Structure 1
Amino acid sequence: MAIKVLVVDDSALMRKKISALLADTGDFAVQSAKNGIEAIAMNQEFQPDVMTLDINMPEMDGLTALAEIMLQRPVPVVMLSSLTAQGALATLEALALGAVDYVAKPDGTISLALDQIERELLTKVRAAAKARLRGGAKVKPVSEPLSLRGRPGSSSSPHSGSVESEAKWNKLTTPVIPRHKRQVKPGAEGELEGLVLIGVSTGGPGTLEQIIRLLPYDFPYPVVIAQHMPAAFTGPFASRLNLLCALEVVEVGQLLAVERGKVYIARGSADLVFTNRCGVLYLQPKPEDPQFRWHPSVELLGRSALECCNAEGLIAVLLTGMGDDGAEAFSRIHANGGRTIAESEESAVVFGMPKELIERRGATLVLPVHKIAQQLLHWACR
């Protein structure tokens, strides 16, 4: 049976070209809409299996339409976004509202732009048609200082207002690290007790928000994330996470020493590796390595962690995404004494990457997304 796709774009030429691209495969039944108002109506009438949705449209823009669609009849949506700072922010908002994925449109004429993204668009529409829908984010940015967010008595603490509850919150979020804890790397100065690696692709922004926002300000391990994204998106994404989380979140655009209390996002359209300098662990961006298909490469990040760190101190988490990026390296981490988590099928938007880790017998645990932060706390604070 053909996959029903609704193409939503205010450009008649773009609607025609995308519709033809999909229809010519023989796998899709395609209809189109020219704005958000039509998209909402046709979502009910045509009942598509998946939708492509432009952000900038007259009468009703893509974000407004997406919010209404997810309320009335949720459907997997692939956003079409420009490679600009404004386009990146709008795309991240769309992903928070429940969109499955996005395709970034390069600058240039419509024909040239579509030629450059044909393969990606087809791949992501096919994947979205099979994706598991997740509810839109309900977290609002907070204005209180990072040093206070999540602490007992702060407005964002889920247990504020009760002495008994505050004690429970302290017990949960205050780590006790034994002195004999294994070290990630040699060297007397700046030793780290452990390190968390996270690899993620399709469906990643919403998934990461659910995990990172639950880690307390005193989480003892640095967290390093490789999320498949273009360069224009990772900076705004890091800024968004930084508003939502108690830990400081930064994009790695230059050589940085790895520190506790920080979450590092690999810069898009590049790769990220670890390096040891005089006994201190650093993160270093580098140009995309052509031997790896996806970037920032989770596989390369995992391999470099094994070269620079003791595997026993590593925790590697493989989340939702297409393909197998990171499965081999994370399996090696598991085989060498590290601990690994694969996101379970029940919560993964796309069960590709974590499935590969499970099938290679490289997962210490298989967990739904809502249990992963708790497990990281248990391992790191044990």
Structure 2
Amino acid sequence: MFEKIKVLVVDDSAFMRKMISDMINSELDMEVVDTAKDGEIAIDKILKLNPDVVTLDVEMPKKNGLEVLKAVKGRTSAQVIMLSSLTSEGSAITLEALQIGAFDFIQKPSGSISLDINKVKDDLVEKIRYAKSSNKKNKGKIQSATITQSKLKPSNRIDAVVIGASTGGPKVLYEILTVLPGNLEVPIFVVQHMPAGFTKAFAERIDKNSNLRTLEAADNLIIEKNKIYIAPGGYHMIIEGNKVRLDLSPTMHGVRPAVDKLFFSAAEKYRSNLLAVILTGMGRDGADGVREIKRYGGTIIAQDEYTSTVYGMPKSAYETGCVDIVLPDNKVADEITKIVRGNY
């Protein structure tokens, strides 16, 4: 008999606790071991029960989700998935929670009490499984700092950088984008799988702390050097000529924005003068785009397994045979700077 994933459900609404618990208990490989109706009770139960995964409401009385996360950080091995309603306060708290160690988040479909919470069931149970499996990663041995699949000595100048990320991406992207120099002299385009509304808060958060102007992309924006363009949730971001374009064409890999959409358009525009980066995330979005970028002679970096929250997207990219360099997250910004400036 296999061991079920033990989940603690935290929400101030009795209705939401019941609905979320029913969704989780309907899966054969997971079970709700308890619930909590506010932040103070949640802290006590997390530390007492040490569940595998906690679904944690963002906005609650007594202590909100962020305060709970801070209180249990380093005191439990439980992975935390934030459940957030789309409010300016909720999105800001959610992004801070991801920054300090939450595994991922789910957007409630229609506010703090979502009668249609079943809409996100598939997404939630998938993330619970990934969260549990991330606890099993071998933390005993750090991989070597750099693994190359090809001898990398880019002879082409770099005219643009494209980056794709999903689960675990907001924290890594923040750490990369806020340390890049302000005179990189190229535009940077970023797709982070994230719902509408959250991408705006994410862009603003980076912009406050980055040397480069960072903004949520809008349709028909003229592309400028030393700017970071974040794809808005709900839209694909592509490059046409000297402009950023947004479109509502169907999802790819179940997501919009999709990394592949950006990568294909950037490959056609910048050809061999393009640097692509694939970071932590579920699924295989970006792998086809990596092939296309390599077909044009571009350069590709992938995050390593050890530092990836979920080694899905980087693994799929690596398996194409097109990745030039594999790096831990804390080496990526320096490598981008070195390659863009031709310091080899």
Instruction: Output the TM-score relative to the length of structure 2.
Output: 0.89
**Structure 1 position 320 matched with structure 2 position 283:** no
Contact 2:303 2:328 in 1 (8 A): yes
Residue 230 (1) aligns with residue 195 (2): yes
What is the aligned counterpart of 2:56 among 53, 58, 62? 53
Aligned with residue 305 of structure 2, among 345, 355, 359: 345
Q: Work out whether 1:213 is the aligned partner of 2:199.
A: no
Question: Cα–Cα, structure 1 residues 132 and 309, in superposed 2: closer, same or farther, change >3 Å?
Answer: farther
1:249 aligns with 2:249: no
**Structure 1 gap segments, 5+ residues each:** 134-180, 184-192
Matched, 1:274 2:239: yes
SS in 2 for 1:41: helix
1:84 is aligned, of 84, 87, 107, to: 87
User: CA separation of 1:207/1:27 partners in 2, compared to 1, >3 Å: closer, same or farther?
Assistant: same
Bigger-Rg structure (1/2): 1
1:21 is aligned to: 23
**Shift in Å, 1:307:** 2.1
Q: Structure 2 matches for 1:111-150, cutoff 5 A?
A: 112-131=115-134
Alignment TM-score, normalising by the size of structure 1: 0.81
In structure 2, the partner of 1:202 is 167
| Contact kept? 1:248, 1:261, Cα under 8 Å | yes
Q: Please name the residue that 2:265 is paired with.
A: 304
**Where does 1:104-115 land on structure 2 (aligned, <5 Å)?**
104-107=107-110, 110=113, 112-115=115-118
Match for 1:20: what amino acid? D
- The residue type equivalent to 2:230 in the other structure is I
Paired-residue identity, %: 39
Find the counterpart in structure 1 of residue 97 from structure 2: 94
Moved more, 202-211 or 110-119: 110-119
AA in 1 matched with 2:304: S
Q: 1:109 to 1:379 in 2, by over 3 A?
A: closer
2:115 alignment partner, SS class: helix
- Per the TM alignment, residue 252 of structure 1 is displaced from its structure 2 partner at its CA by 0.5
User: Which residue does the alignment assign to 1:137?
Assistant: none
Q: Is the 8 A contact 1:333 1:339 kept in 2?
A: yes
Residue aligning to 1:239 = 204
The separation in 2 between residues aligned to 1:231 and 1:111, in whole angstroms, is 17
Q: Deviations over 1:291-342 (max 9, x none)?
A: 55212110011111122222x1110101011000011111221243111011
The Cα RMSD (Å) is 1.9
Residue identity in the other structure for 1:208: L
Matches of 1:218 and 1:195, distance apart in 2: 13
Distance 1:111 1:201 in 2: 24
Residue type at the aligned position of 2:28: G
Query: Aligned partners of 2:115, 2:124: CA distance in 1, in Å?
Result: 14
| 1:359 match | 319
- Give the one of 280, 283, 295 matched to 2:244: 283
Shift of 1:74: 4.5
Q: Look up the match of 2:329.
A: 369
Give the deviation of 1:108 after TM superposition: 6.0
Number of positions where the alignment pairs a residue of Structure 1 with one of Structure 2: 322
Structure 1 residues 111 and 85: alpha-carbon distance in aligned structure 2, compared to 1, 3 A threshold: closer
Amino acid at match of 1:317: V
Whether 1:65 and 2:26 are equivalent positions in the alignment is no
2:50/2:77 contact within 8 Å kept: no
SS in 2 for 1:199: strand
Q: Quick one: distance in 2 between partners of 1:26 and 1:107? A: 27
In structure 2, distance between residues paired with 1:291 and 1:123: 18
Deviation at 1:208, TM superposition (A): 0.2
Distance in 1 between residues matched to 2:328 and 2:12, nearest whole Å = 38
2:197 counterpart letter in structure 1? A
Q: Partners in 2 of 1:288 and 1:75 — Cα distance? A: 38
Query: Whole-Å Cα distance in 1 between the matches of residues 41 and 59 of structure 2?
Result: 14
The question of 1:75 aligning with 2:78 is answered yes
Q: Give the deviation of 1:75 after TM superposition.
A: 2.5
Residue 112 of structure 1: how far off its partner (Å): 2.8
In the alignment, the residues of structure 2 paired with residue 85 and residue 340 of structure 1 have an alpha-carbon distance, to the nearest angstrom, of 35
Shift of the 24–48 alpha-carbon distance from structure 1 to 2, 3 Å rule, reads same
- Contact 2:52–2:77 (CA under 8 A) maintained in structure 1: no
Query: Shift of residue 116 of structure 1?
Result: 1.6
Per the TM alignment, residue 52 of structure 1 is displaced from its structure 2 partner at its CA by 0.3
Task: State the alpha-carbon separation in 2 of the partners of residues 216 and 111 from structure 1.
Answer: 43
Instruction: Find the aligned partners of 1:233 and 1:206 in 2 and give their Cα distance.
Output: 14
Residues 213 and 315 of structure 1: is their aligned pair in 2 closer, same or farther, counting only changes over 3 Å? same
1:293 and 2:296 equivalent? no
Which 4+ stretches in 1 moved above 6 angstroms?
none
Task: Tell me, yes or no, if the aligned pair for 2:77 and 2:135 is still in contact at 8 Å.
Answer: no
Match of 1:332 among 281, 292, 296: 292
